[in-house]
Amino acid sequence: MSTVLVLLDHADTGALRGSVLELATVARDLAGDGGAVHGLWVGDEPLDPALPVLGRHGVSVVHAATTGAADPRLTPVLAEVLVDAVTASGATVLLALSTFENKEAVARFAVATGAGVVTDAAAVERDAEGRVVAAKTVLAGTWTTRCAVLTDPAVVLVKAGAVPAREVDADAPALPAVSAREVAVSERATRARVVERTAEEPTDRPDLAAADTVVVGGRGTEGDFTALEALADVLGAAVGATRVATDEGWIGHEAQIGQTGVTVSPRLYIGAGVSGAVHHRGGMQASGTVVAINSDPEAPVFEIADYGIVGDLFVVLPQLTEALRAR
Amino acid sequence: MSPTAGAGNVPGVRIVVCVKHVPDIQSDRALGADGRLVRDGGDGTINEVDENAVEAAVVLAEQVGEAEVVVVTVGPDDAEDAARRALQLGADAAVHVLDDDVAGSDAFGTAAVLAAAVRRLGADVPVDLVVTGMAGLDGLTSLVPGALAALLDLPQLTLAADVALADGEITVRRDLDHATEVLSAPLPALVSVSDRANEPRYPNFQRIMAARKKPVETLTLADLGVDPATVGAAGARTAVVEAAPRPPRTDRVLVSDDGQAGARLAAWLVERDLVRPAAPPTGEVL
């Protein structure tokens, strides 16, 4: 019986990130019978619209924290809020999405509290001794490990898509109780300040890191993503790219998949004109099914492809798109 | 170099760069029975994005004019290679923390040792800036920079795609998943850089020869006043309980396009139930 606290990541608009509901599901399994799932909402964005869906996903209490004049998007500020909320909720486990910002925040949280941290977890469970154990792939997706967190509190950052979000089994789940408070943030947390912030423009596509299907373009596209976009439309897929494609400015940097970019592990990965350099593989090798289309039969991507086509992507992709559309 | 060139009124800047020695990502990397990275392959190298960290530090030092860049690395004997590489890339001196009790450290053990090394360097001459890579490309946790900044009580400017120093203020641009930010802080501060920050220079013959004359100081945990029980396997807050290579993919198909490959791929995907109705249009549920 324990309380698990979930960081409720949301966009600048206040829209909850969909994968947070997956975390709530993981949290319910970890909390067990008699345990509780609490949420932590940080910032001034309106919380009310999110409450019903959180209730349906088993969150019983939401701690709504504001930070006065301190910008909660600064990770040292977020870290202090995490310390406050874990103390207030009595949580023994803290879960958050595995983003760069959250990694920074929990690193500082861990220095303050002595907590152990696993990042990039693909699954989380309790072992026979009740310890929190997280599965993650390492070494560019070539190895799978299970890591036990030896501390209380335990912190796990979970990748999008770890589990399907599950609603609670109740006809009319209660709205979560809201516990609002302002956290007094220390001066040291705001010594680095945000001079400028440009939020990414919302797109009609799913979030790259969370998408079920990802269509990826590399050097072979020569900058023309039209055929990829059309396929992504039919599949409801996110569009990603290799480092070469983002460096060339063919697509925004936020689309870069790889060791220093976004890590994806969708059910279906389709790479077109992607050579499969090791940096890229490190960001996608944990994908379910890998499809590769490349005109070079020697491209390393074929070594890891479940279905490889040696051919011209500008011929193969439109045909694939047309066949799927005609279904 | 003129002491007043470059970045405004900074009279002289001391920069510490943290680098890690890791197995080459091009090599066959493996985990041992203890869940730790096998480091005896002999094909280790400097963590790639740490070269960007060294480059960023060296460029800032060149701009300031009167500046020193000291490299710190923690790890077994081989780790000295990473420090040497950093010296070839333009750093002035190096510190190698070499101690058997460091083995098995998690991110927080590593950060504690690095913090102690930076503090020791700072005891002689104050350290103005600490620079790291954004992640170790082996574990990819990205926890060390934030932990190190917290331990050293420094403002942190992380994931920098661009770094500038002027009038005692460090400014970075960083590209996050959902936003681009510009952060600024007064020195002293900690910066972590991404591989977009710069193109590391190539260590030519001259630089390689020059690096041979640069000092590498070896220190133990005792030298740094670090309690061995707080780092290494003894102090680790997580433990790998299982490690296995990912099973190879089976039943793979590789075809040359005969004019119908796209249509056949469509059928293959449908057969495997990999084509779903389009999901809600965004990653947001409200």
| The dihedral sign for the CA sequence A218, A219, A223, A224 | negative
Using CA atoms, how far apart are residues A246 and A249, in angstroms rounded to an integer? 5
Say if A219 falls within a structural domain. Answer: yes
- The beta-carbon neighbor of B252 closest among A212, A259, A305 is A305
Question: Is residue A93 in a domain?
Answer: yes
**CA A307 → CA A59, A268, A271, distances in Å?**
41, 11, 10
pLDDT tens digits, A202-215: 778 888 988 899 99
Are A162 and A232 contained in the same domain? Answer: no
CATH of the domain at A161: 3.40.50.620
- Are residues A229 and A316 both part of a single domain? yes
Q: How far is A131 from chain B (nearest CA, A)?
A: 11
**How would DSSP label each residue in B118-135?**
HHHHHHHS---EEEEES-
Q: What interhelical angle do B205-212 and B79-88 show, nearest 10?
A: 120
Q: How high is the pLDDT of residue A243?
A: 92
**What is the rounded distance in angstroms from the CA atom of residue A284 to the CA atom of residue A262?**
9
Least confident of A165-169, A174-178, B169-173, B280-284: B280-284
Give the tens place of pLDDT for each residue, A217-227: 999 999 999 99
Given this model, what pLDDT does residue A8 score? 98
Query: Which chain A residues contact residue B278 at CB under 8 A?
Result: 233-236
DSSP conformation class of A13: T
For chain B, the domains span: 13-235
Q: For residues A168 and A57, what is the distance between their CA atoms, to the nearest angstrom?
A: 6
A182 and A84 within one domain? yes
Backbone phi and psi for residue A49, each to the nearest 5 degrees, phi listed first: -60, -25
On whether the CB atoms of residues B86 and B54 are closer than 8 A, the answer is: yes
Quick one: pLDDT band at residue B10, thresholds 50, 70, 90? very low
Please choose, from the candidates A123, A193, A202, the residue with its C-alpha nearest in 3D space to the C-alpha of residue A156.
A123
pLDDT over threshold 80, residue B279: no
Instruction: Judge if ipTM > 0.90.
Output: no
Nearest CA of chain B to the CA of A106: how many Å? 8
Write the burial class of residue B217 (CB in 10 Å: 0-12 exposed, 13-18 middle, 19+ buried).
middle
Q: Taking 80 as the threshold, does the pLDDT of residue B79 lie above it? A: yes
CB nearest to A311's CB, from B261, B268, B278 = B261
**Is the confidence at residue B131, as pLDDT, over 50?**
yes
Lowest mean pLDDT among A120-134, B17-31, B218-232: B17-31
Going through A152-267 in order, the beta strands assigned E by DSSP cover 154-158, 177-182, 193-199, 213-217, 238-241
Q: Is B150 exposed, middle or buried (0-12, 13-18, 19+ CB in 10 A)?
A: buried
A219 annotated as a binding-site residue: yes
Look at strands B179-186 and B169-175 and give their pairing: antiparallel
Quote the percentage of chain B above a pLDDT of 90.
68
> CB pairs below 8 Å between A and B: how many?
325
Q: Within this chain, do residues A64 and A154 fall inside the same structural domain, yes or no? A: yes
Check residue B9 and give its pLDDT: 42
Contact residues on chain B for A18, CB-CB shorter than 8 A? 280, 282-285
Percent of chain A whose predicted confidence (pLDDT) is above 70:
99
A95 and A148 belong to one structural domain = yes
User: Into how many domains does chain A fold?
Assistant: 2
Residue A77 lies in a domain: yes
Quote the tokens at residue B40. 């005896």
- Asked, for residue A63, whether it belongs to a domain, the answer is yes
Rounded to the nearest 10 degrees, how much is the dihedral formed by the CA atoms of B134, B140, B142, B143?
-150
Q: Which two tokens stand for residue B198?
A: 């710069």
Condensed to tens digits (0 to 9), the pLDDT of residues A127-159 reads 999 999 999 887 767 788 999 999 999 999 999
Tell me whether the omega of the peptide bond preceding residue A153 falls within 30 degrees of 0, making it cis: yes
Phi-psi category of residue B273: left, alpha or beta, with phi > 0 → left and psi -120 to 50 → alpha: left
Residues ≥6 apart with Cβ < 8 Å to A149: A115, A116, A117, A118, A131, A132, A133, A134, A155, A156, B237, B238
Looking up tokens 């970045």 gives B7
Architecture of the structural domain at B13-235: 3-Layer(aba) Sandwich (3.40)
With contacts defined as CB-CB under 8 Å, which chain A residues touch B171?
195
Q: Give the model's pLDDT for residue B138.
A: 65
pLDDT at B39: 60
pLDDT at B210: 94
pLDDT band, very low/low/confident/very high, at B42 (cuts 50, 70, 90): low
- Tell me the per-residue pLDDT of A19-66, one tens digit each, with 9 for 90 and over: 999 999 999 999 998 999 999 999 999 999 999 999 999 999 999 999
Q: Which residues of A touch B29 (CB under 8 A)?
A: 139-140, 142-143
- Asked whether residue A295 is marked as a ligand-binding residue, the answer is no
Question: Among the three residues A190, A223, A243, which one is the final residue of a domain in this structure?
Answer: A190
Quick: pLDDT tens for A79-103.
999 999 999 999 999 999 999 899 9
Q: Residue B270 corresponds to which tokens in the numbers above?
A: 């449908």
Q: Which residues pair with B165 in a beta bridge?
A: B170
Q: Which amino acid is located at A120 in the chain?
A: D
Q: How far apart, in whole angstroms, are the C-alpha atoms of residue A89 and residue A6?
A: 11
* Per-residue pLDDT reduced to its tens digit, B200-224: 998 889 999 999 999 999 999 999 9
Phi, psi of A268 (to 5 degrees): -135, 125
Q: Return the bridge partners of B171, or none.
A: B164, B184
Query: Residue B277 above 90 pLDDT?
Result: no
The whole-number average pLDDT for the span B185-189 is 97
Q: Which of A159, A190, A221 is at the close of a domain? A: A190
Point out the residue among B106, B142, B150 whose CB comes nearest to the CB of A111. B150
Q: Kindly report the average pLDDT of chain B as a whole number.
A: 87
Q: Which of A132, A161, A190 is the last residue of a domain?
A: A190
Does A312 fall in a domain?
yes
Going by C-beta distance under 8 Å and a sequence separation of 6 or more, which residues neighbour residue B248? none
CB contact under 8 A, B253 and A308: yes
Amino acid code (one letter) for B265: L
* pLDDT score of A297 more than 70: yes
* Residues A116, B105, A144, A242, CA torsion sign: positive
- Are A131 and A45 in a shared domain? yes
A221 and A183 in a common domain = no
For residue A200, give both structure tokens: 């990414």
> What span, in angstroms and rounded, lies between the C-alpha atoms of A78 and A140?
29
Q: Which domain holds residue A295?
A: 208-325
Dihedrals φ, ψ of A142, to 5°?
A: -90, -15
Could you tell me if A178 and A273 lie in one domain? no
B 121-150 residues with CB below 8 A of A? Answer: 134-135, 137-147, 149-150
Number of H helices, E strands in chain B: 8, 13
Distance CA A157, CA A102 (A): 8
Q: Which residue has the higher pLDDT, A1 or B280?
A: A1
Q: Is A273 annotated for ligand binding?
A: yes
pLDDT in tens, A236-294: 999 999 999 999 999 988 899 987 888 898 999 999 999 999 889 888 988 989 999 99
> What is the structure's pLDDT at A309?
97
- Burial of A42-55, coded b for 16+ CB within 10 Å and e otherwise, reads bbebebeebbebbb
pLDDT tens figures, A53-76: 999 999 999 999 999 999 999 999
Q: Are residues A129 and A221 in the same domain?
A: no
Q: Which residues contact B195 (CB under 8 A, 6 or more apart)?
A: A260, B48, B49, B52, B134
Q: What is the DSSP letter of A202?
A: P
Q: Are residues A289 and A157 in the same domain?
A: no
Structure tokens that stand for A3 in this block: 């309380």
Please report, for the domain that includes residue A213, its CATH number.
Answer: 3.40.50.1220
Q: Residue A69 in contact with residue A90, Cβ under 8 Å?
A: no
Phi/psi at B7 (nearest 5 deg)? -75, 75
Q: Which residue in this structure is represented by tokens 């670090």?
A: B226
Express each pLDDT in B227-247 by its tens digit: 999 999 999 999 999 888 888
Q: With bands split at pLDDT 50, 70 and 90, how would you rate the model's confidence at B102?
A: very high
Residues of A in contact with B237 (CB under 8 A): 110, 114-117, 149-151
Give the number of other CB atoms < 10 A from CB of residue A13.
Answer: 11
Rounded CA-CA distance A74/B153 in Å is 15
Confidence at B3, pLDDT banded by 50, 70, 90: very low
Same domain, A71 and A213: no
Whether residue A90 is found in the same domain as residue A219: no
Q: Tell whether B247 is within 8 A of chain A (Cβ).
A: no
Query: Cα separation of A8 and A59, whole Å?
Result: 11
Residues 6+ apart with CB under 8 A from A170: none
Tokens read off for A238: 């996110």
